[in-house]
A and B are shown apart, each in its own frame.
Chain A
């Protein structure tokens, strides 16, 4: 008993330490903002939350006093007519971390703008903080699952190590998500997509909870991209029964058909939108809550609020870990349900 409670206590302590480290990584910016924006509107400190949640051209790790420890990231611009241009994000900031113009471009309010008189049409495909995090997660996913796959290639045997950790999850996705919602005879084709989707979301949700990390799955561009994958897979695999149901819903009286048709067609598009917004909102909201509670201590300038807030945000972070798993599950579950509806033969 004693040992168990000690163990759980130490877990809470570790989590608290992580949270403190997490809060340190932006506390400096809070103070900095406090001092510089003192003359500006009250409660301007919430800016750091938005700054933390939004994408960035550099990876801000920690601020010690007035020194910003940042990881400069490459900036890639595709300019119409002149092709790709490569810079480093450090080119766009001076020694005091103020934005400066560089070769006709500058970073303003978190996005890249052309400064010159003549406006080139350009596409910004920079390796931003989110993209760097995306690449990191991909490397992690590849390392983990290629090493898991290696165990299966070695022939049969009881699961070992990392394999025994992921195998139940894979089997769960196969048996309790794909097989049930898509059907035992058709699910196999969609397994690679569903597995990749689940683990991509799970890994990035969890990575997003680590101190100083990017907020990839809380970014609407990412969730939209994932939702569109599901959307296109669903439409391209739509069988006759699926399209009949949408275009000529059975059992509907003729005068109602136009209305039902409109509703069904809207329904096709609400599915990816709901997928996009659900993941984006739940992850972003979790980050905002954690940051707000920690920020409270700095805004109110109170040690007590800071300590209580840190403990409280520890609990919120633990819930966030749960949310990270649930959202990965929900996104995969709904994707397989939509695919299941599309591939259904119409035999009920």
Chain B
């Protein structure tokens, strides 16, 4: 039963001692410990956050690079395509030009040939005409040796004239 009755002296001393302990520990132990803990925790948190941020930045940078690379590739493709087009155009134009020139040359040749041909034909015609005249003259000379034949012919002509 004695155990259940609090001893006054011990109670008083315990209260005072605990109060002093509380005061001293609060001021010199708990305050630095708790603030130190808090500081450390927040610094760790900050470090983690900045690491995360750096990672994100890195990723952004990487994606930027990727984008830049893709753009460069697209640009290159475009330039290549354009160059190809230009080359094709030039080729096409050259081909057209060539064909035009050859056509023209062909046409010129044809025209020349035509002219030559006409000239030759005219020559032939003249020759033929001369020859026919010559032949006709000779034939006529031969035919009109007698006057009878000459009369006959004139008659014929007159007959024709009359008819007209």
Contact = CB atoms under 8 A, between A and B. Distances in A.
Output the residue of B34, B37, B43 with the most chain A CB within 10 A: B34
B77 interface: no
Contacts of A123: 8-9, 12
Interface string B12-38: 111101101110111011111111110
A135 interface: yes
Contacts of B161: none
A104 B47 CA distance: 71
A153 B11 contact: no
Interface residues of A, number: 47
Nearest to A159: B40
B39 interface: yes
Contacts, number: 118
Secondary structure of the B side of the interface? Answer: helix
Given A134-B14, A149-B29, A174-B34, A54 B2 contact: yes
Interface in A195-234: 195-196, 200, 219-222, 224-226, 228-229
Interface string A282-313: 00100000000000000000000000000000
Given A134-B13, A152-B37, A226-B18, A221 B25 contact: no
Interface of A: 50, 53-55, 110-111, 123-126, 128, 130-131, 134-135, 138, 141-142, 145-146, 148-149, 151-153, 156, 167, 170-171, 174, 188, 191-193, 195-196, 200, 219-222, 224-226, 228-229, 284
Interface of B: 2-15, 17-18, 20-22, 24-26, 28-37, 39-40, 43
5 contacts: A138-B17, A149-B28, A196-B18, A219-B10, A228-B15
